[in-house]
Structure 1
Amino acid sequence: MSFVRNRTSRITADADPPLVVRWIARRAVAVYESLPLPAGSILGIVGVLLLHRVYPVPIPGSRAVQRAAGCVLSVTGCALNAWALAERRHHASSRFRLEHPDSVVTTGPYAFSRHPMYLGWWLVHVGIGLWRGSAWIAATAPVGVLAEHVSSVAEERALRSRFPSEYERYAERVPRYWGRRRRAARTRRGRPQVRHVG
């Protein structure tokens, strides 16, 4: 009996690692799908840190001011990302997946930006560059923004396809990244006319 139990325990132990690995892999994918990790900003942050280490090009001026500004921007960006993520989770009706929304979220930071998470990561990216005092940020930030602009346009195309009228109305009111909110005013002919408001 003991022999059988030992053999069974050994078989179970031998079979467990693949199950554990699959479970970890599934959890990792689930976590990745629920976190805002845009490739452009992540690569840009890694790039500015590596470039500054290999070939430092300092930003002229006070390092204390640069570090303070970098900290403020980075903390603001992280806070904006956390706020936007919490708002998305709040509106999820089923298992939360960042890339597969259940509805068009128009509240919280989404009331003034259609892509607040991209905006938050850009602030973090620039903030880290300033904190390091690296002029390389002038090269990595535009590349990151351009890469994520392409992604945001593709995302909006998918959202317009999934929520045609709802997203169109939302896009008429709220700027893509930052700017003044807009409201639609009706003309005498009854056709909507976009008006900028403060």
Structure 2
Amino acid sequence: MDTVWVALALSLKVAGLATVLAALSGVATGFVLARGRFPGRDVLDTLLTLPMVLPPTVLGYYLLVLLGRQGALGGWLQAQWGINLIFSWQGAVIAAAVVAFPLVFKPARAAFEAVDGQLEQAAQVLGISRLAVFFRITLPLAWRGILAGILLAFARALGEFGATLMVAGSIPGKTQTLSIAVYEAVQAGQDDVANLLVGVISAVCICVLLAAGYLAPGRVAQR
């Protein structure tokens, strides 16, 4: 039983931090692509959406190449700061954030594109700065779509398995999240533990999906 709650606490921590990273980067990138007009925008959109469709093992391999001690980022972190992200909960956060990123980025871009640009232009004509326009007009009008994407990203990060397993491994109490614990329990023939773990993660994900569906812009417009 202790294993279940330890895995749940670790999963919530990893998913929560991953969602914060995905939300900050996804909202910013979604706004830039929604408002920007520059060559290669569609290509960049495609590349940023790749984590949504790539097999988790492929994504995990890319992250290993990048974050490993011989990788560009991992080697630099190891040499400069003595930081090793492989087989750590921090590595699990990065893997979950990369997987969850498109689920924030795509809804955020769609929500920003749905905001009437004339409202923003009118505010700028009145002398309001672009930063103030974003926080006082654009974000309030787009927040429901963005929040729905963030909730979906949290659910995705909470259930992430493949990329997390490759980057962080399965170390009980350190990197073993709920989804990995389910796999380990099934492999060990511990059906009672597996059933409990599956029930917990399913209940959490159902609640998150219900909340995301409630906040979806189309659902709000129908009400």
TM-score, structure 2 length as denominator?
Answer: 0.23
Q: Write 1 or 2 for the structure with the bigger share of strand.
A: 1
Structure number with greater Rg is: 1
Q: Which has the higher contact order (CA 8 A, sep 6+)?
A: 2
